[in-house]
Chains A and B, each alone.
Chain A
Amino acid sequence: GESVGLHLPTLSVQEGDNSIINCAYSNSASDYFIWYKQESGKGPQFIIDIRSNMDKRQGQRVTVLLNKTVKHLSLQIAATQPGDSAVYFCAENSGGSNYKLTFGKGTLLTVNP
């Protein structure tokens, strides 16, 4: 039979361009958010995180923006490189004081040389 899977949003960019990946989260009580990168056949790799008392955090070539009003998270990647090609997941901690990450369905980023 036909398999049903998650239809990932996709983003295709040229090498050197900036990429913006968006995510809507579900729980207004979530207090911690993380972006992960997952390459084919590998586990999720931590990129950057942000607490709910912040609206922006910068790392090396990456910036995360948090808009609690509309429950929206974004990941900006500057000067995107072919090695950035992967599936990107946002995750929110909805477990209160104990961990229980709820993941978005992911975005497939393809960087064209």
Chain B
Amino acid sequence: KAGVTQTPRYLIKTRGQQVTLSCSPISGHRSVSWYQQTPGQGLQFLFEYFSETQRNKGNFPGRFSGRQFSNSRSEMNVSTLELGDSALYLCASSFGSSSGNTIYFGEGSWLTVV
């Protein structure tokens, strides 16, 4: 059974550009969440989607957005990139959205903003 798949794995963008990251959850999983990992702040929650609805959101500016499609695949977008957005962006999926459902992470997308 395939794990959580994230694309692209590595990318370099210029300040001011925008970026879209993609996530395919484990087959059958309907909850997808996104996290940002940086050396300075650690792992921080961005948002969580279940059945195409955003159920929870972290403390990030509106430049960070996401969506989920009917097949549970998800994308996140960061507009007007800043140097501080350089990070590992992690997607995680679980079968359900309720507490107690095991959450599995993908390998992440490494974003460098120059």
Contact = CB atoms under 8 A, between A and B. Distances in A.
Interface of A: 3-6, 31-32, 34, 36, 42-46, 49, 51, 89, 91, 93, 95-106
A34 B103 contact: yes
A101 B107 contact: no
A105 B42 contact: yes
Interface string B45-61: 10010100001101000
A100 B105 contact: no
A101 B37 CA distance: 13
Contacts of B106: 43
Interface of B: 4, 31, 33, 35, 39-45, 48, 50, 55-56, 58, 90, 92, 94, 97-108
Contact of A43 (B45, B90, B97, B99): B90
A6 B31 contact: no
Contact of A97 (B99, B103, B107): B99
A102 B50 CA distance: 19
A99 B17 CA distance: 30
Contacts of B94: 99
Contacts of B98: 97-98
A38 to B, nearest CB: 9
